[in-house]
Amino acid sequence: MITGQLGSLTRGAVHLDRVLKAPPARVWAMWTEPERLARWLGPVESGAPGPGATFTLGMEPGVRATCTVTAWEPERLLELDWHYPGEGDSRLRITLEPAEGGTRLVLDHDRLDDAGPVEYGAGWHTYLDLLAADLEERQAPRFDERFRELRAAYGSRSAGLSGGRNIAMKVPTHQWESTVAFYRDVVGLPEIEAGYDGDIQTATFEFGANTLWVDRVETASQAEIWLELTATDLPAAGRHLAESGVPRRDEVEPLPADSGAFWISSPASIIHLVAARD
């Protein structure tokens, strides 16, 4: 179960806003005292947090984050230069302020690589869940399970996927004319145009707020429905869908090489076009 509102992602940056059930002094201690950091984030393996200090955090077996403190205002602001192996340097900023019920914590991690916001969004969200559980003295969630759940949610948010306006009905040749007549004459849908889209004979209709394409397909033995998804970031959508195990189906129909669009299949074998949002 996802707890806390999902953070916001922009190119190279993550922003999370959370109210924790503890006073600012206690939350500050959880970020700056090594023995408390080890309970929810990771052990301090060298150095210690402090003004201008550099210290390392053990984040996973054999992997350490190197942190240099660039701003230190107790119970109000902690800013770190963050270096993680295999990544460029980035910046982590934690601000605290009193709030009803405890402390408002705002986390901003920026200067991240392109794929970083999704990983760090899910990661920091999970770590804040662990922090909240420690502060409230309740059982913490399992990191791996919570991270996987949140990784999918943040991947979807990064891609900006939503339903598109186009619905394609792929109809066998022997049923095409009667199907077009059904939507035009029986249902009375406003016809947009009829003709050829490349090599495919098609008729398009207004279908509520959507556009229905009725395509004549010589090789089809039965009708199929194809749907459209749009994305604000096509590369991010491609990464998210691939990491979620969604199969690409680019063989079903050629697309313009410069469009960046691609085909996928849902678990029910429904073909979807994934295209950039206008």
Q: Rounded CA gap, 153 and 157, in Å?
A: 6
pLDDT at position 159 is 85
pLDDT at position 4 is 61
Render pLDDT for 93-132 as a digit per residue (tens, 0 to 9). 999 999 999 999 999 999 998 768 999 999 999 999 999 9
Provide φ and ψ at 228, rounded to 5°: -120, 135
The residue to which tokens 């429905």 are assigned: 225
Q: 229 and 249 in contact (C-beta within 8 Å)? A: no
The residue to which tokens 């491609």 are assigned: 238
Q: What domains does the chain contain, in order, with CATH numbers?
A: 8-158 (3.30.530.20), 162-276 (3.10.180.10)
Those residues of the chain that have pLDDT short of 50 are 1
Strand 191-197, strand 200-207: pairing? antiparallel
Q: Rounded CA gap, 109 and 66, in Å?
A: 15
Q: What is the DSSP letter of 140?
A: P
Q: Report the SS3 class of residue 143.
A: helix
pTM of the predicted model over 0.85: no
pLDDT at position 61 is 85
pLDDT at position 3 is 56
pLDDT at position 191 is 95
pLDDT at position 157 is 85
Residue 113 CA to chain centroid, in angstroms?
15
pLDDT at position 250 is 94
pLDDT at position 233 is 87
Of 254, 262, 116, which Cα lies nearest the Cα of 198? 254
Of 129, 156, 138, which Cα lies nearest the Cα of 20? 129
